[in-house]
Amino acid sequence: MNVEEIREYCLSLKGVTESFPFDESTLVFKVMGKMFCLCGLENQPASCNVKCDPEKAIELREMYSGVNPGYHMNKQHWNTIVFDGSFSEDQGREWILDSYNLIVAGLPKKVQLELKQLP
């Protein structure tokens, strides 16, 4: 996947917005105001940070050379996934969706209901 494909996928998920809150080269995706994916626009190959269950994060890091502790993030809860060919693009999409779902699950019930009601 390249950055544009990551962007298109993230924006296809319900309630997602994009912004550049840190600098002009780090694209951040949020669901209902909470960050779930960050992409460095200049990274080659493309990479992004995604939230992950701590036990699964360790397992993925051991299985794939393209999965590393989250760069500039809480390394227990975030992975940096580098689209280097060590895993499929579908697997990368699954990890982005897992991150999205983890964030949604942590939202207050009222906000989760608002998200469900979005078109």
Per residue in 31-44, pLDDT (tens digit) is 999 999 999 999 99
CB atoms under 10 Å from CB of 86, counted, come to 13
Q: Is 72 helix (H, G, I), strand (E, B) or coil?
A: coil
Residue 110: the pLDDT is 98
Query: What is the C-alpha radius of gyration for the chain, rounded to an integer number of angstroms?
Result: 14
Residue range 8-33: mean pLDDT, rounded: 98
Q: Is 117 helix (H, G, I), strand (E, B) or coil?
A: helix
Please report the domains of the chain, with CATH numbers, ordered by start residue. 3-117 (3.90.1150.30)
Per residue in 79-112, pLDDT (tens digit) is 999 999 999 999 999 999 999 999 999 999 999 9
Residue 17: the pLDDT is 98
Pairing of strands 67-69, 47-51: unpaired
Average pLDDT, the chain: 97
